[in-house]
Structure 1
Amino acid sequence: MNGLFVTATDTEVGKTLVTGGLAGFLREKGVDAGVYKPVQSGHHANDMDGDAWRLKVLSGVLDDASDICPYAVSEPLAPALALQRAGREVAMADLLTHFTSLARQHEFMLVEGAGGLAVPYASDCMVIHVAQAMQMPLLIVARPTLGTVNHTVLTIEYARQHDLQVAGVILSGYQSSQNERVKENINMIETYGNVRVWGALPYLGEKPSREAVLQAFDQYINASFIHSIIRKRGMEQWN
């Protein structure tokens, strides 16, 4: 499948902003990018404060939020536990079936996981198993702060141990006072993780507008590289 699986080093790192923002940027460039979040806990799919709705708004897709996220439950727990407590029997095959249906409608897919790769996701899988089944390279979203090199390199190595390709890393949410530290972290992640860092997004506020997010991608992320890969060279050339 032509696309990227977006994961992170932890929860609340900025996966939704990055996934929706990158999809929106690509759509502005003429790529029919779709977004998919298999499981959402903490909000129902059509809740305007939830990730599925934010993905819809940021990306600009016309798909219903319930198609973007087919399994959404209100309790803010690990997805597998939240589904179980809600009395919903969901297995990895269910997540993949919905993905295949949605992916047929788009040229390129961005799939947002939940938390990190080892998060319990459905009754028979963790996030990493779904990423493996979808056979898409990973985009890792990481914090800009102290400790991020350790967390990011561990995530990269865990992914590679499971034969997943890491396409790149984006740092998300830095303050202006952290500019020098962010540059140092980027250099160390690239050195010790042997991976390309596509850029770092500054903190954009609690609920930034689509316009603000797309402007930030244009200014701070090497999104033109991503676009050129998709359009010209093929997915095998991420590295």
Structure 2
Amino acid sequence: MTRTLRVFRWSPNEAESTRDYRVEAHRDTTVLDALVEIQRAQDPTLAFRYACRVGMCGSCAVVVNGRERWACRTRLGDLGTGPVRVRPLYHFPLLRDLVVDLAPHAVRLRDAHGAFTPRADAAPYASVAGDSRERAAIDPAIECIGCGMCVSACTLVASNPRFPGPAALNRALTLQLDSRDGAHGARWEVLLGDDALARCHGQGNCTAVCPMGLEPTASVIRLRRLGLSQLLGTTG
């Protein structure tokens, strides 16, 4: 079966455009398979990012037919019969064609104190037992791989550059629940400020597109509850 991919094109020296490519597709042909075939056989200038090709790394995240997806996990046969529209993730600076600069993603994580900071009095090699209540509370939010799809789907990221974004807030939850972390106070200053938890609209777009099945929207709700307890002085 022949399928048409309508691909977003842009480079620093060219205006935005779309270009149609026709590829032969089989039952299990993925969007990534088609992009690789286009680059190899039709247009070697087409730029896109990928690595593992087996749905583990998240490098191939793009927007397909208006929805954030991993190109390597999205089969053309599941996308209807019309042209398949492929564009880069939203809310990230463009580098070329389907490739975006993920550096702002790292900046949001940094500004939300997304790095683990050991407590000064933490025991060497401190661990959280796998069968503990603490670990059970953290587990639902720890599998984020930083693909950026939730950030692309978040409408608030576009309107407020100071908003940490769903991935950073999800990460913050795991750290605020971790008894070994020593940056809870600094992190609460960010989370309880004007541009973090209070700004999330709870639309759930981030949860809808997460390929790992995480629920950043639920993480925000949990952080709000913890934050309220923090403000009322009912938790440490």
**TM class, shorter-chain normalised?**
under 0.3
Structure of larger gyration radius? 2
Structure with the greater relative contact order (CA < 8 A, sep ≥ 6): 1 or 2?
Answer: 1
Q: Which has the higher helix share?
A: 1
Normalization by structure 1: what TM-score?
0.24
